[in-house]
Amino acid sequence: MTSTTSQSGSSWLTREELDAARERLPIVYVDAIPIRVETDGHVRAIGLLLRASGHGAIARSLVSGRVLYHERIRTALMRHLEKDLGPMSLPRIPASPQPFTVAEYFPTPGVTPFHDPRQHAISLAYVVPVEGDCAPQQDALELTWFTPEECRDERLLAEMTGGQGTLLLQALAHLGV
């Protein structure tokens, strides 16, 4: 399988190559939950995106995306956070990023709480404090900051697809909020 290489050195697959890989291999992703933190360390707010899907549906989502071939996890996190939240979001990724969980997305519903009809994907999930100005970019229509209490609202969780509501609840438990 060949890939095209951009001038920055990132390796990209053509649409056909990606579809072929998705039929045969688990794809590595990162999920990032942006948070605002008080000076005393308490979580003040969690940022959720509003996106339009390829099918025209509107849903809340986390920052999420593939890890490219020969790309470090830290670089993938930064790339997706800046792509969705803007270059001035100023994410604080630790020197040695550790996921709070690993989510296994399957094309078959019900295998795990996570579902992606396109593929089998393994996603490393992170909570990432952001300090700068966030402005939705690319396919993100809006970024809304919710309190931890608001994130537990069943109506809000129902707006999230593919099991991302479950992932959000796991992040809240990880944070102790």
Domain count, the chain: 1
Tell me what pLDDT residue 21 has: 78
Instruction: Report yes or no on 9 lying in a domain.
Output: no
Q: Residue 8 above 80 pLDDT?
A: no
Give per-residue pLDDT as tens, 44-67. Answer: 999 999 998 767 789 999 999 999
Q: What would the DSSP string read from start to end of the chain?
A: ---EE-TTS-EE--HHHHHHHHHHS-EEEEEEEEEEE-TTS-EEEEEEEEEE-TTS-EEEE-EEEEPPTT--HHHHHHHHHHHHH-TTS-B---SS---SEEEEEBSSTTSSS-B-TT--EEEEEEEEEB-S-----TTEEEEEEE-HHHHT-HHHHHTB-TTHHHHHHHHHHHHT-
Give per-residue pLDDT as tens, 139-169. Answer: 888 999 999 999 999 999 999 999 999 999 9
Instruction: Report yes or no on 18 lying in a domain.
Output: no
Tell me what pLDDT residue 11 has: 61
Model pTM?
A: 0.85
Q: What is the CATH number of the domain that holds 67?
A: 3.90.79.10
Range of the domain at 151: 26-175
Tell me what pLDDT residue 80 has: 96
